[in-house]
Amino acid sequence: MPKFTIEEIVKATNGLLLAGGSQAQITGVSIDSRSLVPGDVFFALKGPNFDGHTFAAAAAEKGAAAIVSGRELDLPPTWSGAVIKVRDTLQAYGDLAHYHRQRYACPVIGITGSNGKTTTKELIAAVLGEKYNVVKTEKNYNNEIGLPQTLFKMDNTTEAVVVEMGMRGKGQIAYLAKLAQPTVGVITNIGVTHLELLGTQAAIAAAKGELIDGLPPSGLAVLNGDDPLVIPMATKFAGESLFYSLKKPDGFGKIEPALYLVAATTKGDREVVTVDGRWGQFAFTLPLLGRHNIANALAALIVGLSLGLTPDEAVRGLQRVDSVDNRLRKIQVGGITVLDDTYNASPPSVQAALEVLHKLKNPGRKIAVLGDMLELGTVAREAHYKTGELAAAYGCTALFAYGPLSVAMVEGATQKQIYARHFATKDELWVELQTYLTPGDAVLFKGSRGMAMETLVEKVITHNKGGEE
């Protein structure tokens, strides 16, 4: 854990020392009194649904050496720790993480995009982990609270840091980039998620592009050469930009990819891939399904190869990747193949999942169980209707849809003459689905995070293992 003096924390947070405390050194950073370790500095963060100031006394009783607060506190009279007052505890928390980041000169890789951020983060960390000691974002802790948590894990043994950066509006990626000071920036793609908040895809691209704006001139931008909204980001960056692509260059494209796909074949739970580019031609086996994951792997390979790994080392690193929770997890249960891709959903990611479902070699039917795709703004109805059409185009026998927006999804599927049913509740959907599924079927579950479609996956697993629902 990071170590600081009281004076360093005061300086980094631009705070006012109200009580000096008796401990010479702080030995950790906490934002949760329940997990606080004696010697930590406790930041009393405040959000819409919580206020850390109400837990400051508990933090003191558990052994906090210092408390960073935005207001006066009622603390135990016997407590001898330091109190530092700041204008904004969240800002101060980020400032201390930025201060800690500046202690180290190792590469920091920042990743953003509309889809694939977490998977790409895991792939990059796995590749770099073949040669370096890597600190990475855990799960998808990619916001102004989660990113500092990752930076605080840096120490003298850290040789590379991989951070995921999420956003909901303009300026948020810029803030995260200011804290992390990335030396490598990866943009996976620009979709229509957040259209409800930002209005246009161009505005989404500008917000995601804040990562590239935050790179130093000596840095590296790794860009999706198949995305027309990502390609122009290279022209705004003074440093080196390297593109990856799922297409072979034909000499007429706008970019020359540094790494591109030559061939790919799905074999069981894996993709067998051949690529070519500035590091020559080589092959690898990716333990994840789908062309979209091949694209994510290309980004990871470029990062690794650019940071000194050989192709053999980078490929070995890819083999260490496990399926990311609720992202195209393939489960066999009771003769049924379940594709659990319930983490989140957008039009491109649903299409990618439908493509994987289509390629499965199961003996029975293909069935899509899809929930609403949220934050699509004015294109929501059209996007859901087209997704229904895609379910038919990718060979689905049936579509089971949940959520108010998915009415349009059923309309699109019905127009293509496949069996499609809409349900107002997941319980109603489950009543019909459990009688519809038979051994040999393959069923995809996917929806936006707010739809919690994983509860249906759990029901299928429990029911087909002989449990009761």
The predicted-structure confidence for 214-244, as pLDDT tens digits, reads as follows: 999 999 999 999 999 999 999 999 999 999 9
Q: Using pLDDT thresholds of 50, 70 and 90, give the confidence band for residue 468.
A: very low
Angstrom distances, CA of residue 426 to CA of 185, 332, 423: 40, 22, 7
The owner of tokens 């894996």 is 270
Domain that holds residue 201: 104-318
Residues 118 and 227 in one domain: yes
Looking at the fold, whether 200 and 312 belong to one and the same domain comes out as: yes
Q: What confidence tier does 197 reach under pLDDT thresholds 50, 70, 90?
A: confident
pLDDT tens track for 277-330: 999 999 999 999 999 999 999 999 999 999 999 999 999 999 988 767 778 889
N-term to C-term CA, the chain: 45
Name the residue among 323, 315, 316 with its Cα closest to residue 290: 323
Within a domain: 80: yes
Distance CA 140, CA 144 (A): 12
Render pLDDT for 124-145 as a digit per residue (tens, 0 to 9). 999 999 999 999 999 889 999 9
Tokens of 115: 């889809």
Q: Which residues contact 145 (CB under 8 A, 6 or more apart)?
A: 31, 45, 90, 93
In a domain, 143, yes or no: yes
Last residue of a domain, one of 318, 347, 362: 318
Confidence at residue 252, expressed as pLDDT on a 0 to 100 scale: 75
Same domain (yes/no): 423, 442: yes
Q: What gap in Å lies between CA 406 and CA 384, rounded to an integer?
A: 6
270-282 per-residue burial string, b: 16 or more CB within 10 A, e: under 16: ebebebbbebeeb
Phi, psi of 374 (to 5 degrees): -95, 170
The H or E element containing residue 166 is none
Q: What angle do CA 131, 137, 141 make, to 5 degrees?
A: 170
Q: At what angle do helices 407-415 and 380-393 cross, to 10 degrees?
A: 40
Scan for tokens 């579509």, then name that residue: 399
Q: List own/partner pairs for 246-255 with CB under 8 A and 24 or more apart.
A: 246/291, 246/294, 246/295, 246/298, 248/276, 253/225, 255/225, 255/231
Predicted confidence (pLDDT) at residue 335 exceeds the cutoff of 70: yes
Tokens of 408: 């349009």
Strand partners, 319: none
Task: Give me the sign of the Cα torsion angle 279, 280, 282, 286.
Answer: positive
Sequence-distant (≥ 6) Cβ neighbours of residue 196 within 8 angstroms: 374, 375, 376, 377, 380
Residues 45 and 114 placed together within one structural domain of the fold:
no
Same domain for 283 and 141:
yes
Q: Is 407 helix (H, G, I), strand (E, B) or coil?
A: helix
Domain limit, last residue, from 64, 89, 114 = 89
CATH, residue 67? 3.40.1390.10
Q: Does 94 have pLDDT greater than 50? A: yes
Spatial separation of the C-alpha atoms in residues 20 and 375, rounded to whole Å: 47
What pTM value is reported for the model? 0.91
- Helix, strand, coil in percent for the chain, rounding step 5: 35, 25, 40
Average pLDDT over residues 391-410: 98
Q: How many domains, the chain?
A: 3
- In this predicted structure, what is the pLDDT of residue 225? 97
Look up the CATH number of the domain holding residue 412.
3.90.190.20
Pairing of strands 366-371, 282-286: unpaired
Residues 6+ positions from 250 with CB-CB distance below 8 Å:
none
CATH number at residue 184: 3.40.1190.10
Percentage of the chain beyond pLDDT 70 is: 99
pLDDT tens string 353-376: 999 999 999 999 999 999 999 989
Residue 250 is predicted with a pLDDT of 82
Length of the chain in residues, anyone? 469
Supply the pLDDT for residue 269. 86
Q: Does residue 170 sit in the same domain as residue 75? A: no
Task: Name the token pair of 123.
Answer: 């792939």
Kindly state whether residues 341 and 394 are assigned to the same domain: yes
pLDDT band at 466 (very low <50, low <70, confident <90, very high): low
The rounded mean pLDDT for the chain is 94
* pLDDT, tens digit (0-9, with 9 covering 90-100), for 145-189: 999 999 999 999 999 999 999 988 899 999 999 999 999 999 999
pLDDT in tens, 413-454: 999 999 999 999 999 999 999 999 999 999 999 999 999 999
Judge whether 53 lies within some domain: yes
Q: Please name the residue that has the structure tokens 């540094």.
A: 258
Residue pair 370/446 in contact (Cβ under 8 Å)? The answer is yes
pLDDT of residue 469: 38
Q: What pLDDT score does 262 carry?
A: 97
Q: How far is CA 104 from CA 108, 154, 268, in A?
A: 10, 8, 42
